[in-house]
Amino acid sequence: MQSRTNLHKQTPLRRFSSIPVIDISGLYSAVPAERQAVADNIRDAARDVGFFYVCGHRVPEAATDDLVASAERYFAQPYEQKMQNYIGLSQNHSGYVPEGEEVFYSPGSNADVNKPRDHKEAYDVNYDLGDLRYRRPMLGPTLWPDDADFKAKVSCYYGHGTELAKVLFRGFALALGLEETFFDGKLIRPPNQLRLIHYPYDPGLQDAQGIGAHTDYECFTLLLPTADGLEVLNGEGRWIDAPVIPGSFVVNIGDMMEILSNGHFRATTHRVRKVKEERYAFPLFCTCDYDTVIEPVMAPCEGADKQYQPVRCGDHLYAQTIDTFDYLQKRLRSGDIERPETQPDVGFGREERAL
């Protein structure tokens, strides 16, 4: 399907020096022109930066406050207690992620022992599948700690975030020049992942990175941070700060939206700089249903030399996750799992490139 929107030719380098803020309240309007106006702003930000803030959303402040409080309480527990919910015990890649669990592996290789490891711990929450007929490698029952209050409050936020994601998907559809409902039938059981990430403060580890440079796998990410630290790489190779704006979320383009847009929208490399303070971050990685085929819906950029090939949404997500998590690498080496084939030029750690 070809786009009806003219995005014009992309400039060779994206020379942005700040992250735009978009009021998305118009996406809730009954007036089509008001929804399209927001979509036009999303289009420009996705094309020129790959990142933007959103305000004017309808996620209650109480839900975000409860999420932060739940994370603080969970991560304050002893390590041995948290490891009872180790992600390697889960059925849908959910649970506790200790420091050092994540390190990028090249397909077919062993870990690079010299690669810096991220200084963080996390708890991952995925789509909590009840109907096991739809089970997939990244889709199944979520592994929850034995804490009803944690489950209730984190689930509440997950629900609000997922509803906001549906609104944004409609905005992205318009931004791509598609029918507004293009994504609706592809969001029935999406393996959206909410990460509760804790960057501990330790004066002895001031030189440790928070999260190394990477792109995100999914269509887009909806991020709630509690402190500064996020940096975005522009086309000149400069790291641009993305500071916290109270009441707003950070949205960034992921690999699969880049494929859908045929390179018009870019998955921008980003990182969390050296840990200098106690910090929490809550990215919700938003994607389509597991078996959805992601393929370009637009003509390629003028003069582009890259060909984007179709990928199965779940296969891409699973392959990139295998390349990142130690417990899955162990399963891969033992023959317990197989890594799906996916595009070699799309994925974790890809740096900014000119078209």
Distance set, CA 292 to CA 149, 221, 316, 347, 349 (Å): 34, 18, 11, 18, 24
Specify the pLDDT at position 5. Answer: 35
224 domain residue, yes or no? yes
Specify the pLDDT at position 106. Answer: 58
Report percent pLDDT > 90 for the chain: 74
Specify the pLDDT at position 254. Answer: 95
341 domain residue, yes or no? no
Q: Which pair of structure tokens corresponds to residue 79?
A: 């390590």
Tally of domains within the chain = 1
Domain span at residue 321 reads: 21-334
| Residue 34 reports pLDDT greater than 90 | yes
pLDDT (tens digit, 9 = 90+) per residue, 82-121? 999 999 999 899 999 999 999 866 555 554 444 556 678 9
Domain of 65, CATH number, reads 2.60.120.330
39 domain residue, yes or no? yes
1 domain residue, yes or no? no
Residue 353's pLDDT band (boundaries 50, 70, 90)? very low
CA angle 106, 310, 141 (to 5 degrees): 70
5 domain residue, yes or no? no
11 domain residue, yes or no? no
133 domain residue, yes or no? yes
Given phi > 0 = left and psi -120 to 50 = alpha, else beta, which region is 188?
A: alpha
Q: Which pair of structure tokens corresponds to residue 50?
A: 């790959």
95 domain residue, yes or no? yes
Residue 301's pLDDT band (boundaries 50, 70, 90)? confident
| Residue 354 reports pLDDT greater than 50 | no
Distance CA 148, CA 201 (A): 28
